[in-house]
């Protein structure tokens, strides 16, 4: 391991020293034919325009400019109006809302309570949709008139406003979809946001233009382009040469190079994203043995990965519910376990004294240093006798396998939490949602999560989630690695402040 980390450190130093000379970047955001164009580079493309059938933060960061939620979660300031101008919690299962009037979709149709009913009841009832687990608590939407409606939940719902302010609850155009069909919508999506769809070249770029009849403040940009650039080095080169205005997921090894370039700077921010390993616990997999899962956990030196690959831009954790989220268990945050000798003992006890082989799948380019991280993890696992057969996948192939729940023993993923609540972070470990992914089944954890989901006693609810996290940390259906910091490279002509939820609300990005 020492030789491995030493070689890695030399490689990082060489790469960091490749370009220390002062470079001259383009001094202003790209202009096309005299018009203002904002170009943002992500590591992966949008996964879908079906807002109910993905749970990708990077995709939501684009969608927030095309679709509107009923309310916005402002954090310390609470929930603010978006499409809804007012709301009231009438009783434990009923919430009354009033929509803003004269809101239009991009095709000119009025947005009404019928569209809200269509949107929320679809995601709440269709169990095949990836976002169903976050909305199945909704029993029905009762339309009173064009602008007033009730949301009735199956049980008391303490986090309904959190759910209505995030991915999966952007309001869709009922008439357009019912008339044209989903295939047409997915190729030409219609929302009510400040920017509308112009063009999408899959795995290359998405182009948005202003919606002239937007109900809020007039859009500030004449064109917004989201580019998909999986390679870290290419994203860095593009922002340095002026090909893009903002690049996300910047490797720490490139920070000095960017800062030494005229007209370009870097921004760091905490994020909600926790990198984790998802393991199968069902019979038929080596990882069904809790001793094997613990051995995997103890074999990986998470702090070494943070220090050597991520330049310290992450915090180790044994939970996905990090500080700033309702239900966080801070006793598990900033804590890591590393004991390779104990890992070897556990494997021997499980009957694998001569080693074992497991599958290990990962996305390539979606997260900061993901390819290098899994390669280093595989080397650490090999040192205790676990051969991890790495499957490095492009984003679209990974999404397909993820959607089909077709992974083997283990895969790497990074989850954000746009709901800012433990319920979202832990819902995939409830038995009905764990099927085919972790197959996790602990009756005590299940009881705690089910109870907390509908517990209107907020203090008691937090304690339930905290206890559930302690059990999960020991059961290890998911092995938590570290909470990432977000690192951006930004053209200095822009006013840009990163958000904790990683969203790109482009009208909050302005020229100086």
SS3 of 301-329: CHHHHHHHCCCCCEEEECCCCCCCCECCC
pTM tops 0.85: no
Contact call for residues 195 and 204 (beta carbons, < 8 A): no
Mean pLDDT value of segment 292-297: 98
Boundary residue ending a domain (187, 221, 252):
187
Tell me, yes or no, whether 183 and 311 share the same domain. Answer: no
* Residue 35 reports pLDDT greater than 80: no
pLDDT of 435 strictly over 80: yes
Query: Coil, strand or helix: which one is 138?
Result: strand
Question: What average pLDDT score do residues 506-511 get?
Answer: 96
pLDDT at 74: 85
- Pick the more confident residue, 24 or 101: 101
Question: Which helix (H) or strand (E) is 362 found in, with range?
Answer: strand 356-363
Over the stretch 238-280, which tens digit does the pLDDT of each residue have?
Answer: 999 999 999 999 999 899 999 999 999 999 998 999 999 999 9
In whole numbers, what is the pLDDT of the chain averaged over residues? 92
Residue 231 domain-assigned (yes or no): no
Instruction: Mark whether 421 and 323 lie in a shared domain.
Output: yes
Question: Residue 1's pLDDT band (boundaries 50, 70, 90)?
Answer: low
- pLDDT value of position 27: 40
Domain boundary among 165, 187, 209: 187
> Is residue 21's pLDDT more than 80?
no
Is there a contact between 175 and 110 (Cβ–Cβ < 8 Å)? no
Q: Would you say residue 223 lies in a domain?
A: no
H or E element: which one contains 22?
A: none
Distance CA 60, CA 505 (A): 10
Instruction: Name 216's bridge partners.
Output: none
Q: Would you say residue 78 lies in a domain?
A: yes
* Mean of pLDDT values over 303-321: 96
Quick check: is 329 in a domain?
yes
Q: Which domain holds residue 123?
A: 67-187
How many independent structural domains does the chain possess?
2
* 179/281 same-domain check: no
Do 177 and 306 share a domain, yes or no?
no
CA 367 to each of CA 26, 105, 273, 462: distance values in angstroms, whole numbers, following the listed order: 26, 33, 10, 30
Percent of the chain topping pLDDT 70: 93
Same domain, 411 and 300: yes
Q: What is the pLDDT of residues 334-346, one digit of tens each?
A: 999 999 999 999 9
Task: For residue 56, give both structure tokens.
Answer: 């990708």
Residues 278 and 151 in one domain: no
- Give CA–CA dist 73/418, Å, rounded: 9
Judged against a pLDDT cut of 70, whether residue 20 lies above it is answered with no
Q: Is residue 445 part of a domain?
A: yes
Same domain? For 473 and 369 the reply is yes
* Whether residue 325 is found in the same domain as residue 469: yes
Average pLDDT over residues 116-121: 98
Pair (471, 342) in one structural domain: yes
Please report whether residue 218 resides in a domain: no
User: Does residue 290 fall inside a structural domain?
Assistant: yes
280 and 398: one domain?
Answer: yes
Confidence of residue 290 (pLDDT cuts 50, 70, 90): very high
Q: Which two tokens stand for residue 86?
A: 């007012």
Query: How far is the C-alpha of 31 from the C-alpha of 242, rounded, in Å?
Result: 11
Query: Do 317 and 442 sit in the same domain of this protein?
Result: yes
351-361 in b/e form (b: 16+ CB < 10 A) is: ebeeebebbbb
Which residue, 187, 216, 238, sits at the end of a domain?
Answer: 187
* Choice between 33 and 130, residue whose per-residue pLDDT is larger: 130
| pLDDT value of position 365 | 80
User: Do the domain assignments include residue 389?
Assistant: yes
pLDDT (mean) for 402-428? 94
Q: Tell me the pLDDT band of 25, cut-offs 50, 70 and 90.
A: very low
Residue 467 has pLDDT above 60, yes or no: yes
Does residue 318 surpass a pLDDT of 70? yes
CATH number (domain holding residue 319): 3.10.105.10
Burial 93-109 (b: 16+ CB within 10 A, else e): bebebbbbeebbbbeee
- For 381-410, how does the pLDDT look when each residue is reduced to its tens digit (9 = 90+)? 999 999 999 999 988 899 899 999 999 999
For residue 78, is pLDDT > 50? Answer: yes
Is the per-residue pLDDT at 32 higher than 60? Answer: no
pLDDT at 282 over 50: yes
Are 366 and 474 part of one and the same domain? yes
- Once rounded to an integer, what is the mean pLDDT over residues 429-448? 96
Measured between alpha carbons, how far is 365 from 127 in angstroms, rounded to an integer? 30
Q: The domain spanning residue 71 has which CATH number?
A: 3.90.76.10
């Amino acid at each position: 391991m020492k030789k491995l980390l030493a070689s890695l450190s030399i490689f990082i130093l060489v790469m960091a020293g490749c370009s220390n000379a002062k470079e001259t970047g383009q001094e202003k955001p790209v202009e096309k034919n005299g018009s203002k164009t904002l170009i943002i580079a992500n590591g992966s493309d949008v996964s879908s325009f079906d807002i109910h059938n993905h749970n990708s933060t990077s995709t939501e960061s684009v969608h927030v400019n095309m679709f509107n939620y009923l309310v916005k979660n402002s954090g310390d300031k609470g929930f603010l109006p978006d499409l809804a101008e007012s709301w009231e919690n009438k009783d434990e299962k009923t919430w009354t809302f009033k929509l803003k009037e004269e809101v239009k979709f991009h095709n000119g149709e009025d947005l009404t309570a019928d569209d809200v009913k269509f949107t929320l009841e679809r995601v709440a009832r269709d169990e095949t949709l990836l976002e169903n687990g976050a909305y199945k608590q909704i029993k029905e939407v009762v339309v009173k008139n064009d602008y007033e409606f009730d949301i009735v939940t199956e049980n008391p719902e303490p986090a309904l406003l959190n759910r209505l302010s995030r991915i999966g609850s952007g309001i869709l155009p009922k008439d357009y979809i019912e008339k044209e069909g989903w295939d047409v919508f997915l190729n030409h999506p219609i929302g009510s946001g400040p920017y509308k769809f112009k063009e999408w070249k899959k795995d290359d770029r998405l182009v948005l233009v202003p919606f002239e009849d937007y109900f809020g403040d007039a859009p500030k940009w004449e064109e917004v382009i989201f580019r998909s650039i999986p390679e870290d080095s290419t994203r860095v080169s593009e922002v340095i040469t002026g090909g893009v205005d903002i690049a996300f997921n910047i490797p720490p090894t490139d920070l000095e190079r960017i800062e030494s370039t005229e007209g370009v700077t870097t921004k760091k921010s905490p994020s909600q994203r926790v990198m984790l390993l998802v393991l199968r616990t069902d019979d038929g997999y080596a990882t069904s043995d809790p001793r094997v899962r613990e051995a995997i956990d103890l074999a990986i030196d998470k702090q070494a990965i943070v220090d050597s690959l991520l330049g310290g831009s992450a915090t180790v954790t044994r939970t996905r519910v990090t500080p700033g989220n309702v239900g966080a268990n801070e006793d598990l945050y900033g804590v890591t376990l590393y004991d390779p000798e104990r890992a070897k003992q556990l494997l021997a006890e499980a009957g694998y004294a001569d080693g074992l082989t497991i599958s290990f799948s990962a996305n390539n380019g979606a997260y900061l240093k993901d390819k290098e991280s899994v390669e280093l993890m595989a080397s650490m696992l090999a040192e205790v006798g676990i051969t991890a057969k790495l499957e490095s996948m492009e984003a679209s192939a990974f999404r397909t396998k993820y959607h089909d729940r077709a992974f083997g023993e283990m895969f790497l993923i990074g989850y954000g939490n746009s709901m800012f609540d433990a319920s979202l972070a832990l819902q995939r470990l409830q038995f009905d949602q764990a099927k085919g992914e972790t197959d996790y089944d602990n009756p005590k954890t299940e009881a705690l999560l089910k109870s907390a989901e509908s517990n209107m006693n907020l203090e008691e609810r937090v304690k339930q989630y905290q206890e559930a996290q302690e059990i999960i940390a020991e059961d290890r259906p998911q092995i938590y690695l570290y909470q990432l910091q977000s690192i951006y490279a930004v053209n200095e002509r822009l006013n840009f402040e990163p958000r904790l939820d990683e969203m790109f609300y482009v009208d909050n990005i302005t020229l100086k």
